[in-house]
Structure 1
Amino acid sequence: MQKQQIKQSLQIGFTYIGTVVGAGFASGQEILQFFTVYGEWSYLGILISVLLFAWVGGKMLLLGAKLKANSYRELNAYLFGERLALWIDLFMLVMLFGVTVAMLAGVGALFDENFQLPFELGVLVTMAATYFTIMRGMQGILAANTIIVPVMMTLVCFIFLKTAWTTGMRTSTVIPQPSGSWLTSAISYAAFNLGLASSVLVPLGNEIKDRKTLVLGGCVGSVGLGIMLLGANFALTTHFPTVLNYQVPMAFLISTSGALLQTIFVLVLWGEIFSTLIANVYGLGSQLIAPYPAEKGPLLIVLILTSAFFVSQIGFTKIVTYLYPIFGYLSFLLMTLLLWPHNVQKRS
């Protein structure tokens, strides 16, 4: 492969990773609840999720190129047909907006709790960074993730190596949940995150177009996610069940590493939230801007961020509680249709 293809593959992979990870991943809560609680089965669950990330994520990228899709709207129409796709689009818009609100609220809390800065300041600074990144289009998202994701991976690898060194690769005994549940949990984790990732992977496929580059990029992203999941899961398993007492288990794992590394962790946590935020806002923007002239784009992005800012002030727990399961079912349906034989997929 040429150097340009390799560079683009890495950019795709990093963007894939940056879209999937977020506050839940960075804090360790997602990994703990979806994988660690299943003990030894957690590693098999991670393998299943990684295979789905590679298979389904690769299909999204390739279909984005094939359909010349500027947003996930074209993919939904292809899979569900024009009439049903309208309802699917509505659900996805609501969910992307909901996760955007959650990410902004998380950033505000991060600034408040760790830097003793006003909640609103953290949100506004992140909104400004999001706006200027998205105004650069897909290239802005690729560039941001090319910086953020390697730092995230380095920190997770550090936590893994530090844990392995201090424990001699010994893990605590985890009394697993019912053995059959680990598979459902692994598939649910992959489906939910692939549903969110479609907002970026589909137009990214259209942006790059080259099949080999897209396939390699999807593999890079999946393997990277797998490495991060395995490293974090091992560290959490080692300190189980103590980690169940912490809202941010990863912060507990790094709490003995000195003030500098704790500060770096907080900045990485912000980066992970930011990478998910720009993906969600880009997905919302690409869908809402399509019917309007291009010059309306900046105004619509400002309206999306401003609306999310005001909603984030009143909290989002109840909305997430009710919408996340619905979006999980929708994402599972989307993943199933993507895995279905090609001649059945084409419905529009």
Structure 2
Amino acid sequence: MFKRSLAVAASFVGIVVGAGFASGMEALQYFVAYGTNGFYGVILASVTMLFAATAFMSFGSYFLASEHNEVFYNVTSKPAAFIMDWSAVACMFSVGFVMFAGAGSNLNQAFGWQVWVGAVAMLALMLIVGRFDVDKVSSVIGWATPLLVVFVLIGSIYSFTQVDVSWTEVNDYAQHEVSRADGTPYWWLGALNHTGLNALCGVSMALVMAGDEFDTKSSRIGGVLGGVIYAVMLALLVASLLLQVESVNGDDMPLLSVIENVDPVLGLVMTWVIFLMVFNTCLGMFYALAKRLTRKKPERFYPVYAIACVVGFGLSFAGFQPLVSSLYPILGYLGLFVMAVMTVMYLRHRSELKEEGERRAEAVEGESDVDELASDSNLEDEEFKDALQDEVDDADEKDQKRSLNDLL
């Protein structure tokens, strides 16, 4: 179970971290800008994200969700679910076109290329890949997230061991010189807004990903572990940026600047890691957006996807830093609403979620009558049995592979 929970946790972190985390700009504007008080923000963000992650993963598995509305409209009122749905849609489009700006800024900072070069390259990739199996493409570039973790660790180790600064000086500089995200004058507000933004960006994919997990207990534990991993990464990133704040402030990609300070070759590698993270995020946002807008007319998927990409490309020329500073806070407050609803409903229905988890565990282990368990489940009888069969088949396949490896 632990391995399965860890896999769920890693997938969740990959979803919520995204390209904004990889650039370091969000961490700079939402945490470092408050100086050492930003560490209190890290604690607050970590706790709230842990609850949100647990709620998202638990409900996604509970409903075996294939899209977010299956959860939204089942856990709350129609007006609230409507707001949550269209908040997620707004986030998909907004974050998507910010990624075009991020691609341009990334290559501009690394190589001095004009911003439009990176944005055009990203648009071309998006239009080409939109014709392919996106799941396969995403799996190929999925290794970018583990690499990001490694680079955050490298940057933090370098900052802690090689950078000799006064905490008082960097605190004063950060509070007076680093720009904060619009509408977040206090450290606690910045932390909550940042968490809301990440949660809103990840909620749709998190629910669908957890919807593939019949075992609700593994999903719940995976959500908790994901929240912990997210907290550790955020703390290390904020500390690294604060220690080097005077040298990275003003850069569109402050984390790239930190890695370039460690070694120029690592900086070159980091440039393409960030580009892949930007591409992955951009692809995920526009793909999910087009799927949502064409769910009743799937044959129109690619035209809607292509139009959304082109419009997003045009809007991206407002600039990466201004977009992050002004647009993200709006999304953050919408995300806080989604988080609040999901967390409250999770706390209110914990006993039901726990009972369903135990029911499914009994079914997998064959300890009770399946018909009786199915009739008591929140799922339809046939849906419960089909999901159980898939779970058993997957377990058998893994056992066979393990036995074959042992023989070899």
The TM-score normalised by the length of structure 1 is: 0.81
Higher mean C-alpha deviation, range 206-215 or range 192-201: 206-215
**How is 1:44-63 mapped onto 2 (pairs within 5 angstroms)?**
44-63=40-59
1:328 aligns with 2:327: no
Corresponding position: 1:75 with 2:71: yes
Is 1:85 the counterpart of 2:85? The answer is no
The equivalent residue for 2:259 is 254
Structure 2 equivalent of residue 181 of structure 1:
186
The more displaced of 256-265 and 243-252 is 243-252
Query: Structure 2: where are the runs of 5+ without partners?
Result: 177-184, 350-408
Runs (5+) with no aligned partner, structure 1? none
| 1:317–1:149 Cα change, 3 Å | closer
Which of 341, 350, 360 pairs up with 1:337? 341
In structure 2, relative to structure 1, the CA distance for the partners of 1:70 and 1:109 (3 Å cut) is same
Matched, 1:166 2:162: yes
The SS at the match of 1:291 is coil
Query: Does residue 1:43 correspond to 2:47, yes or no?
Result: no
Counterpart pick for 2:277 among 260, 272, 275: 272
Separation (CA, whole Å) in 1 of partners of 2:151 and 2:48: 25
Q: Secondary structure at the match of 1:186?
A: helix
Contact 1:35 1:45 in 2 (8 A): yes
Q: Which has the higher contact order (CA 8 A, sep 6+)?
A: 1
Task: Judge which range, 55-64 or 284-293, deviates more.
Answer: 284-293
In structure 2, C-alpha distance between the alignment counterparts of 1:39 and 1:111, rounded to whole Å: 28
**Identical pairs, percent:** 22
TM-score (norm: length of structure 2)? 0.71
Residue of structure 2 in register with 1:291 after alignment: 296
* Residue 210 in structure 1 maps to residue 206 in structure 2: no
SS of the residue 2:261 aligns to = coil
2:211 is paired with a residue whose SS is helix
- Residue 123 of structure 1 corresponds to 122
Deviation at 1:159, TM superposition (A): 0.8
- CA separation of 1:121 and 1:340: change in aligned 2, threshold 3 A: closer
Distance 1:271 1:85 in 2: 33
- Residue pair 1:71, 1:286 contacting (<8 A) in 2 also: no
- Alpha-carbon distance in 1 for matches of 2:155, 2:307: 39
- The one of 308, 312, 320 equivalent to 2:312 is 308
User: Where does residue 380 of structure 2 map in the other structure?
Assistant: none
Identify the residue that residue 66 of structure 1 maps to in structure 2: 62
Structure possessing the higher radius of gyration over alpha carbons: 2
Q: Does the 8 Å contact 2:109/2:253 carry over to 1?
A: no
Q: 1:37 to 1:333 in 2, by over 3 A?
A: same
Q: 1:253 to 1:83 in 2, by over 3 A?
A: closer
